[in-house]
Amino acid sequence: MNFELQPTLRGKLLELRPLAPDDFDALYAAASDPKIWEQHPEADRYQRDVFRKFFDSAIASRGAFAVVERKAGKLIGSSRYTNLDAGSSEIEIGWTFLARAFWGGQYNGEMKALMLEHAFRFVERVVFTVGENNLRSQKAVEKIGGNLFGRNERPGLDGAMRANVVLAITKAEWEKRKR
């Protein structure tokens, strides 16, 4: 499988490009709003030192994107591919956030559609792991067709275990939604 984890993906509203080390300040500006993280298992991610750990892990993942609003050319968030499992024909999309000005409209839908279209060229299932109390993100994934797939626990960047729900979209479900 030759899955490219950091292609440049372009839509009408957004461009997703590989996240680069020099994106830190612009991405932190988008992420420094405490409201973004209030339902997240790491609710203090708006703090610069906590966000630095998140950012460094995004760079190290080699699958993270800078999400750029095309009209203004401004970095407004991030997402990433991770946990590619060729044997199960599955990849995870996660660690996604957008600045609040871009919530509730077409932006998340377009970002995920771009990522799903790319992913389904290579895999049969995409999963999304979301904190069990992060109802906002769970609803956003359900809105694009995600269905409950399971539950798990994962360590956060601070090492503490976090309970999550796992939602999934199969290639067949995605193709059916697009019709």
* CA angle in degrees (0–180, nearest 5) for 86-90-96: 130
Residue 4 contacts residue 117 (beta carbons within 8 Å): no
Rounded to an integer, what distance in angstroms lies between the CA atom of residue 54 and that of residue 60?
Answer: 10
Q: What is the pTM of this model?
A: 0.93
Domains present along the chain, CATH in parentheses? 9-178 (3.40.630.30)
Between 86 and 157, the more confident residue is: 86
Average pLDDT over residues 140-153: 91
Q: What is the pLDDT of residue 162?
A: 85
pLDDT in tens, 35-66: 999 988 888 999 999 999 999 999 999 999 99
